[in-house]
Amino acid sequence: MAPPAPSATMTPELFRKWRKSLGLKQKDAAEVLGLKKRMIQYYEKGDRNGRPVEIPKAVRLACYALSAGIADFDGATPLRGPVQPTSSPGPGQPARGSSDPVPGT
Q: What's the pLDDT band for 84 if we cut at 50, 70, 90?
A: confident
User: What are the sequence ranges of the domains in the chain?
Assistant: 12-80
Amino acid 86: pLDDT: 61
In order of 1, 5, 16, 63, 74, the CA distances from 13 in angstroms are 31, 21, 5, 14, 31
Host H or E run for residue 59: helix 57-67
N-term to C-term CA, the chain: 68
Is the pLDDT higher at 28 or at 87? Answer: 28
Give me the residues paired with residue 52 across strands: 47
- The fold adopted by the segment(s) 12-80 is 434 Repressor (Amino-terminal Domain) (1.10.260)
- The reported pTM is 0.71
Residue 47 pLDDT:
96
Residues 37-65 have a mean pLDDT of 97
